[in-house]
Structure 1
Amino acid sequence: MELPVVVGVDGSQGSLQAVDWGAAEAERSGRTLRVVHASLWEHYEGVRPGISADRPSEQVFAENLVAAAQERANRLAPGIEVSTDVRAEEPVSALLEEGTEAALLVLGPRGHGPIAGMLLGSVSLAVAARAHCPVVVTRGEPSAGPPKRGRVVLGIGSTTGSTLAARFAFEQARSRGCELVAVRAWSFPPYQNMPYPYVGGDQARTYRQQAEETADRILGVVVGDYPEVAVERKLVAGTAHQMLLEEAVGTDLLVVGARRRHAAIGLQLGRVNHAMLHHAPCPVAVVPEWSGSPYPEHQEAT
């Protein structure tokens, strides 16, 4: 059975962007859309659903919220199947559980209250850092009209697991009918950027060649499966987060991988992931690269 696209909603403007993005993705991919709202209203209200005829106000709000999101999705993509769920749970835990049986999770960049002023909402950050499936955070300005047929940008990492992010990016480019721009950044180690660098042109060529070999290795695993996707490969000198932020301007989607280790505690995002999630001018997809994962469907076959 095809896994659904799951959208987390909280009533914020950002979550409406997530509904729009998720509906378009479900329509492109032929998947169902599942709209989920989670909060601890049950804990604070002290009432369980179905026990009292008088439903707590937060439950009514949650039901109206997902119903409105379902109506919005059906209006934007009439052909998709949309289901909803209200979960009286802590949002991060509920969404992470949803992610174990989802093709991807879609979230808005910010929530309500004090966190609304942050660069990225705490729920979106925590889910992107720990989910077992790809997470899309709908950064950037809401698009007016149908999705663009522009380009998808892939940030190529240095690990073998980066093929998971590459495959996700190729799938996105194919479904959108657009080109894929694969970016691999390279730079000297910090001590070589001093006023009197230890190395010269030969070393620069070596670092660039290493970057080229990494790009060839990662793209070579998946490019043959997507002959219809036009690929532009870019090797750029500079820091990865700066180069990707520049490439993300005017882009439909930016895809980056995130290394995960099963049973590791805390957030599992690198510096580049953080920079993209906080500053990118377009939607960002974070694709987990699992090490020792109990979820074999999220591992790349060798």
Structure 2
Amino acid sequence: MGEAIVVGITDAAVTRRAVDWAAQRAAETRRPLELLAVVGGAVGTVGEDSIVEAALAQARESAEGEAARVAGHGFEIRTRVDRGNPVSKLLDASADAALLVIGSDYRGPGSKTARGAHGLRIAAGAHCPVVVVPDIDTAGRSGVVVGVDGSPAGEKAVAFAAAEADRLREPLIAVSVWTPLEVPRNMGVYPVEYLENLARLTEESLGISLAGLRSQYPDLEIDPRVERGYPSQIINELAADARLAVVGSHGRGALARFLLGSISQEVLARLATVTAVVR
């Protein structure tokens, strides 16, 4: 993992929010900030060169404008403009980055826009944590929400979230969600013992995942939550009032560069706050 915080910038309005978020973190952590614009869509047809050159010039101007806007806060800032497939270029950049930041046009529950396929592929295939910044004003929110499921990716998410919460001096809201099996139609209701055991086992698993955090971060406020429901829905409900949400990525096998676990994907599809995906 590298040192720089890399931000993928486009001409979308949300780019300003993504750059602002990344610049604040760069200032607080004293990491360099790199603004990366990628011009894609070229197919090599005759007469295309002039269009590509104009697009590159516009991207360069935009990147330099954003750099000038957030400069002067004590961290190194640089710009880079490239051409090619934006997803591939951002994934390549993530190999040498501490953090990759991208924006989302999603504006909350009433928005017609959901996180697109490109963003999901970036979050799934990146070599470093990815932070997705929605086009939502999160000023005045508090807390870092993390989904905890006991998996290796979930444990990395807890470690990332705890470090962020401690650095930001925010409470860590660690949530584990249990979901009962669908009841067969002829069964009627769930046995009470079954529900109680699910809740107890989930609480025990959450305790194991959080063990050691209090000694590692003695000043960190930890708020463990055990909830019944569907994980992505619960996480986004809690994240609606939070400064940051963190989930683990469960990419699988040869398709890891293209797949997130279903829960992470669903969280990103309906962003409630700035959300980090850790793998």
1:254 and 1:244 mapped to 2: Cα distance?
Answer: 8
Contact 1:163/1:222, CA 8 A, preserved across alignment = no
Q: Encode CA deviations 1:133-167: one digit per residue, 9 max, x unaligned.
A: 111111251356xxx57210011123133111011
TM-score in terms of structure 1 length: 0.82
> What RMSD over aligned residues (CA atoms) do the two structures have, in Å?
2.6
Residue 110 to residue 224, structure 1, CA distance change in 2 (3 Å): same
The amino acid of 1:82's aligned partner reads: I
CA distance 1:71–1:214, change in 2 (3 Å): same
* CA displacement 1:234-285 (0-9 Å, x = unmatched): 1111111221121112210010111123533662212221221121321111
Over the matched positions of the two proteins, sequence identity in percent amounts to 27
Q: Distance in 2 between matches of 1:193 and 1:187?
A: 17
1:82 equivalent in structure 2: 77
- Would the alpha carbon gap of residues 223 and 105 (structure 1) be closer, same or farther in structure 2, given more than 3 Å must change? farther
| Corresponding residue number in structure 1 for 2:91 | 96
Runs of at least 5 residues in structure 1 that lack an aligned partner in the other structure? 289-302
CA change 1:82–1:216 in 2 (3 A) is same
> Aligned AA for 1:202?
E
AA matched with 2:34: R
Displacement of 1:57 after TM fit?
0.8
Is the Cα contact below 8 Å between 1:163 and 1:221 reproduced in 2? no
Give, as a single letter, the amino acid of the residue that structure 1 aligns with 2:94.
G
Structure 1's consecutive aligned runs of 4 or more residues displaced over 4 angstroms after TM superposition are 41-47, 192-195
Please name the residue that 1:70 is paired with.
Answer: 67
Match of 1:177 in 2: 169
1: CA distance, partners of 2:36 / 2:270: 26
> Cα offset for 1:127?
0.3
Deviation at 1:192, TM superposition (A): 6.4
Q: Do 2:17 and 2:135's aligned partners in 1 also have CA atoms closer than 8 Å?
A: no
1:84-126 per-residue CA deviation (whole Å, 9 max, x = no partner) reads: 1001121000000111111111110139xxxx96311333222
Summarize the Cα distance change of 1:80–1:194 in structure 2 as closer, same or farther, 3 Å threshold.
farther
8 Å CA contact retained: 1:41, 1:58? no
Q: Does 1:127 align with 2:122?
A: yes
Q: Count matched residues.
A: 273
Q: Secondary structure at 2:211's aligned position in 1?
A: helix
Matching residue within 53, 56, 59 for 1:56 = 53
The offset of 1:193, in angstroms, is 8.5
Mapped contact 1:140–1:282 kept (Cα < 8 A):
no
Read off the aligned partner of 1:268 and give its amino acid letter.
L
Give SS of 2:97's match: coil
Partner of 1:14: 14
Q: 2:206 is matched with which residue? A: 215
1:188–1:157: structure 2 CA closer, same or farther, 3 Å change rule? same
In 2, distance between residues paired with 1:37 and 1:194? 57
Secondary structure at the counterpart of residue 36 of structure 2: strand
Supply the distance in 2 between the matched residues of 1:13 and 1:182 (Cα, whole angstroms).
32
**Unpaired segments ≥5 residues, structure 2:** none
Contact 2:125–2:258 (CA under 8 A) maintained in structure 1: yes
8 A contact 2:2–2:95 mirrored in 1 = no
Alignment of 1:1-302 (within 5 A): 3-40=3-40, 47=49, 56-74=53-71, 78-110=73-105, 118-143=113-138, 148=140, 150-191=142-183, 196-197=188-189, 199-264=190-255, 267-288=258-279
Q: What CA distance in whole angstroms lies between the structure 2 residues aligned with 1:107 and 1:194?
A: 48
Instruction: Give yes or no for contact 2:105–2:134 (8 Å, CA) kept in 1.
Output: no
Q: Identify if the C-alpha distance between structure 1 residues 193 and 170 changes in structure 2 by more than 3 Å, giving closer, same or farther.
A: farther
